[in-house]
Amino acid sequence: MKALHSLPASRALRSLSRPSPSRLLQCTHAQSPQCRTFLRPQRTSHRAVENLNLNRMREQSYDYHIRRRNFLLSGVAAGVLATCYTAYLLAVELRKPKKFDSGLPDKLDPFKDEAGTKRKTIIHDADGREVVPTGDSTVATFPRLLNVDVAAREGQEMVDGVEYTLVGLGTRTVSFLGIRVYVVGYYVATQDVAAIQARLVREINPIASTLISSEKEELRAALLDPARGERIWTEVLREVRPRSLFRIVPVRDTDYHHLRDGFVRAIQARSQGSGAEFGDEAFGLAMREFRGLFNRGKVPKGKELLLCRDAAGELTITYDEGKAGRVTIGRVPEERISRLLWLNYLAGKQVASEPARKNIVEGIMEFVERPIGTVATQVV
């Protein structure tokens, strides 16, 4: 107090009103917030708790759990749907027919080369039957042998009918776009093959019982020639008269009227060249009778239609009715109708299916290279 009284009044007031710099620095450090250091974490202020909104936090928590629940439910639903769809796909695959190692490869050629000679490609289906590939994806195979109980001579019927052997086959196409209509195969009664062999071998070599390679090429050229081929097949159908049939299987849904129009046009085109032979009333009545057989409905794809010609030249048409089996549609006794219809596939300038005609010729080559009468006893 003595020291204070000894100072002048102005200095005493100045010292009380303004703190010293050292004290000001200490106060500044005291009021500054705590900073985080390497050894001590930053202290949080308790004032942040005062800004919390409990209602907002509760709403945010509720929204979060709702979103989480919906997400989990969506995952469960997606898993159930995926499981059901996978089970459906597996069921569809199990219903599909199985392809075994011995099954038919896609686009397999009906003929194969063996030592420079063409042979039919013969395989076995799931039931062990011999079939020949057609090269078509819809109608994949044709049976090598057919047992048919129509067009059979008296005393020659078998338990299951007459056995027919496949000669050749091909696909019928229309328009420049090559629209596929049906697959057709030519069958000859196995017991009548020897008669065809003898006639065709005599055409090239009258004293031979089989043909060598050069003679086979000569016969092939003759059968593919429009004029000569038509003459040879006309003589075979007129004189030899083998029991034969054409097996037609549509590759797309069609109808009888469409098939009839194609058959009628082919018969009329071939009959116009010989007015004297086909200009009588009997032939006209037979044509009307033939047209009347096709006054029916649809022909679904994959269904079998047989055009059968017996030894007398009578035409019999049968159709596969499914469970009912083969049903006879009708008959045309006039031999000229079936002959012209057969020539529509076998010979001439224009045939219904050029691949079928060439394939049939290759099948004939298989016959004539064997001794006459041995095809019926051939073991494949």
Backbone angles phi, psi at 34, to 5 degrees: -70, 135
Of the residues 95, 124, 156, the one at which a domain ends: 95
Verify that 115 and 249 share a domain, yes or no: yes
208 and 264 co-located in one domain: yes
Check residue 379 and give its pLDDT.
46
Same domain, residue pair 358 and 222: yes
3-state percent breakdown (helix, strand, coil) of the chain, nearest 5: 45, 20, 35
Task: Read off the pLDDT of residues 115-132 as tens digits, 9 standing for 90 and up.
Answer: 566 677 888 888 888 888
Q: Are residues 91 and 115 in the same domain?
A: no
Residue 188: phi and psi, rounded to 5, are: -125, 140
In 3D, which of 296, 268, 293, 306 has the Cα closest to residue 184?
306
Query: Among candidates 168, 182, 147, 86, which has minimal Cα distance to 359?
Result: 168
16 compared with 368, residue with greater pLDDT: 368
Q: In this predicted model, what pLDDT tens digit does every residue of 177-193 receive, in sequence order?
A: 778 899 999 999 999 99
- Domain of 197, in residue numbers: 111-368
The chain-wide mean pLDDT, for the chain, equals 80
Is residue 51 very low, low, confident or very high in pLDDT (cuts 50, 70, 90)? Answer: low
Is the distance from CB of 244 to CB of 318 less than 8 angstroms? no
Above 60 in pLDDT, residue 361?
A: yes
Q: Is the pLDDT of residue 10 over 80?
A: no
Q: List the structure tokens of 66.
A: 């709702």
In a domain, 28, yes or no: no
User: How much of the chain, in percent, has pLDDT values that exceed 90?
Assistant: 36
Residue 251 and residue 321 share a domain = yes
For residues 88 and 146, membership in a common domain is answered with: no
Q: What burial letters (b/e) apply to 3-41, b meaning 16+ CB within 10 Å?
A: eeeeeeeeeeeeeeeeeeeeeeeeeeeeeeeeeeeeeee
If asked whether residues 84 and 148 sit together in one domain, one would say no
Q: How far is CA 9 from CA 1, 2, 97, 338, in A?
A: 13, 13, 121, 152
CATH number, residue 364: 3.50.70.10
Structural domain contains residue 263: yes
Instruction: Identify the residue whose tokens are 């338990």.
Output: 159
Residue 134 burial by CB count (10 A; 0-12/13-18/19+): exposed, middle or buried? buried
Domain-located, residue 17? no
82 and 115, same domain (yes or no)? no
**175 and 319, same domain (yes or no):** yes
Between residues 50 and 277, the one the model is more confident about:
277
Together in a domain, 306 and 350:
yes
Q: How confident is the model at residue 49 (pLDDT cuts 50, 70, 90)?
A: low
Confidence of residue 29 (pLDDT cuts 50, 70, 90): very low
Domains of the chain: total: 2
Q: What is the dihedral of CA 123, 124, 129, 134, to 10 degrees?
A: -50
- The answer to whether residue 270 sits within a structural domain is yes
What does the pLDDT average to over 69-87? 92
Where does a domain end: 44, 71, 95? 95
Assess whether 126 and 249 both reside in one domain: yes
Domain membership flag for residue 16:
no
Report yes or no on 194 lying in a domain: yes
